[in-house]
Amino acid sequence: PLIYKLFDGRQGLTDAVINYELQQLIEQQAACMKRHGRFKRILIEGALAGIELARNDEVMMSLLLHSSVDHLPALLLDSSQPAHAMTLGLWKPYFDRAREAGELATNISDDDLMEWLMSIQYLFLMREEVDLGRIRELLEIFVAPVFNAPRR
């Protein structure tokens, strides 16, 4: 169909819709993150909000579940993709503030933070059988302490 030619094929159209939906979700996620003061809470609650919002977005979940499995990680984790730029735009001010406040190790780059955070969110987004309470527990145990590692 003609529409595919405008978006470099079916996958290009799917990517464009995912990016549009992601922008809408990020706006909602940002509102949730503003309610928390310390980086650990922002990290945990922001990640949970992202997972919950995406899980509740039928269009986004349908697109994610029907996109090619090998393409999804690249779309979400590749720093040259719009999804990475949008997500970094959401998180970077919190990373910067946390570093200034000594709540985030200064030796962890933004790109490393984004790769780790997006990977965790992607993993739990695709594991719908894991409820948000359990995800919160796992984030408390494993993720937050890593980002709060002492400076080296």
Overall pTM surpassing 0.85 (yes/no): no
Q: What is the pLDDT of residue 69?
A: 53
Residues contacting 136, CB < 8 A, separation 6+: 44, 48
Distance from C-alpha of 48 to C-alpha of 33, rounded to nearest angstrom: 10
Query: 82-112: per-residue pLDDT in tens?
Result: 888 888 999 999 999 999 998 888 888 998 8
Q: What's the rounded Cα separation, in Å, for the pair 12 and 93?
A: 30
